[in-house]
Structure 1
Amino acid sequence: MRSPLIAGNWKMNGSLALVEQFGEAFADANVPPDVSIALMLPFPYLAVAQRALSGTPMAWGGQTLHDQRSGAFTGEVSGSMLVEFGARYVLIGHSERRAMFHEDDAAVLARVSAALDVGLTPVVCVGETLAEREAGRTEDVVLKQVDVVFSGIDAEARERLVIAYEPVWAIGTGKTASPDQAQAIHASIRAHVEQYSVALAAGLHVLYGGSMKAANAAELLAQPDIDGGLIGGASLQVDEFLAICQSAG
């Protein structure tokens, strides 16, 4: 049985004070014990997260990383640097990174490998645009993105991945895939991964990311192939995020 994972992605938002608020709120929060929780924070907040979130049920991670451990890459951050601040997770291939920063499939795979090399859990984002959905290409696009990563690493490494399905048209728009729409793609991802290993597919965590909030989380998380959420705007509100975590148990 896959235990739920609720991961918040602050993007380029938040503050030192907000990290502290999350630490205080989750230190005594009533969160189901089988629910894993993580916040993907802007890099400058990782140091305070290491202090403020320690002792809570919450892990933390980065929003991207470079594919090299060190070097002349001004403005970049390596996986080993994230690990030094206690990070357990890192987002890779978020649609905003793909679109705004031109990270292609090869770049996504290189970053996945770099994360695995230092012991981080990659949360690999896949998803289609509205134009691709309307053209009937959702599965082609999403499963190709999955294949790029799964075919580029070995069997042991595949077991350490988390996939986040995020329909691009539902990110930050207030639009949400219906539970049936989301479940259909999650089921397709899981069925597709069976070509690598039936056991791998059965244990793979596939999160839904696309305007999940407290009001719709329970219905989405009740779907058999939705194993948690990658939460955007709602992860910046302590009470809202806590309510999502509680609904996952």
Structure 2
Amino acid sequence: MRKTIVAGNWKMNGTRESIKTLLDAITDRAMKIDGLVTLVCPPAVYLSQVVDQIADAPVAVGAQNVSEQSKGAYTGEWSLEMLQDLGCKYVILGHSERRSLFGESDELVAEKVAATLEAGLVPVLCVGETLGQREAGDALVVVNSQISATLQRIGIEGFASVVVAYEPVWAIGTGLTATPGDAQEVHAAIRAQLAEKDAIIADNLSILYGGSMNAANAAELLAQQDIDGGLIGGASLKADEFLTICAAAAESRK
């Protein structure tokens, strides 16, 4: 059965003090519900603080990126072994900002997914189209190609342990949001693409929506058949907003 996942991507935001305040509010009200995962992904320098602070709260911790290399002379990088050592369970991979700002290719993202699976962590594979690609009618083609690169590397069996996040690039941090129907169309297409290889794995895959989901639109988005949670950016830095989304996710499981 699919898990419903609400993941907060804090990006490059936060201080020790602000993170403590945010986590205090989240852990105080986080819900322990079967099949619902509340996930926070802080900047790497604060991972240890976050892992220590959540203690026994029903909150998981993830990283925003990782090297595909296991160790060595890679100044400024961090490895999967380091993330395991800290207690991370999830890793966001292929976020559009990593692809556009740091030049990560589909093939590199696929390598990172493969390495993450091998290490026993859960990859959150991000895919999505730009505004120009959507306006050209190529949204599904782009997403299909991004999924295909990882599928070729890990096989359909690997997707049994992967989470996918659809994030239309034009809706990230802009306040624009795909309509529930538009988002559902892409989520359904992702599931259908993988179902061609294995219907059971595709049906059990959690696919998150990652384009400016917030407290006001979460319930309508999460009501869609193939939307299984959210990858939340700005709204995850506000405890009340993030918890409202978590509550909508919990309601969607009823």
| Alignment correspondent of 2:240 | 239
Q: How does 1:63-142 map to 2 (within 5 A)?
A: 63-142=64-143
Question: What residue is the counterpart of 1:6 in the other structure?
Answer: 6
Offset, 1:26: 3.1
> How far does residue 23 in structure 1 lie from its aligned partner after superposition?
3.1
Post-superposition offset of 1:25: 2.0
How far 1:196 moved relative to its partner? 1.5
CA contact (8 A) 1:218 1:247 kept: yes
Instruction: Give the TM-score of the pair, scaled to structure 1.
Output: 0.97
Alpha-carbon distance, 1:119 to partner: 0.9
Is 1:139–1:188's contact at 8 Å kept on the other side of the alignment?
Answer: yes
Contact 1:4 1:248 in 2 (8 A): yes
Give the secondary-structure state (helix, strand or coil) at the position aligned to 1:60.
strand
Report the equivalent of 1:22: 22
Whichever residue aligns with residue 41 of structure 1, its letter is P
Note the C-alpha offset of 1:219: 0.4
1:23, 1:56 within 8 Å by CA — same for their partners in 2?
no
> Residue deviations 1:121-169, cap 9 Å, x none?
0000000000000000000000110111112114432210000000000
Deviations 1:169-204 (A, max 9, x none): 000000000001100110111011111200011001
Write out aligned runs for 1:212-231 (5 A).
212-231=213-232
SS of match in other structure, 2:29: coil
Shift, 1:30, TM fit: 5.3
Q: Which runs of 5+ in 1 are unaligned?
A: none
CA contact (8 A) 2:8 2:232 kept: yes
Residue 60, structure 1, aligned to residue 61, structure 2: yes
Structure-2 separation of matches of 1:116 and 1:2: 18
Could you give the per-residue CA deviations for residues 16-67 of structure 1, whole angstroms, max 9, x where no partner exists? 1233223322333152613211111111111101111121111011111111
Partner AA of 2:14 in structure 1: G
Q: Under a length normalisation based on structure 2, what TM-score does the superposition of the two structures give?
A: 0.95
Deviations 1:186-242 (A, max 9, x none): 011101111120001100110000000001000000000000000000001111101
Cα offset, 1:83, TM superposition:
1.0
Tell me which moved more, 228-237 or 20-29: 20-29
Aligned equivalents of 1:219, 1:81: Cα separation in 2: 38
Between structures 1 and 2, the one with greater helix share: 2
| Offset, 1:110 | 1.0
Shift of 1:11: 0.7
C-alpha distance in 2 between matches for 1:238 and 1:30: 10
Amino acid at match of 1:244: I
- AA partner of residue 72 (structure 1): A
Q: In the alignment, what sits opposite 1:170?
A: 171
Pairing of 1:202-221 with structure 2 (within 5 A): 202-221=203-222
Q: CA RMSD of the aligned region, Å?
A: 1.2
Contact 2:111 2:153 in 1 (8 A): no
**Which runs of at least 4 in structure 1 moved beyond 6 Å after TM superposition?**
none
Q: State how far apart, in whole Å, the 2-side matches of 1:79 and 1:138 are.
A: 32
SS in 2 for 1:72: coil
- Given residue 127 of structure 2, which amino acid in structure 1 is its aligned partner? V
The 1:160–1:197 alpha-carbon spacing in structure 2 relative to 1, beyond 3 Å, is same
**Structural mapping, 1:28-47, within 5 Å:** 28-29=28-29, 31=31, 33-34=33-34, 35-47=36-48
Distance 1:161 1:9 in 2: 17
Which digits, 9 at most, give the CA deviation of each residue in 1:65-123, with x for residues without a partner? 11111010000011111111110000100000000000001110111111112111000
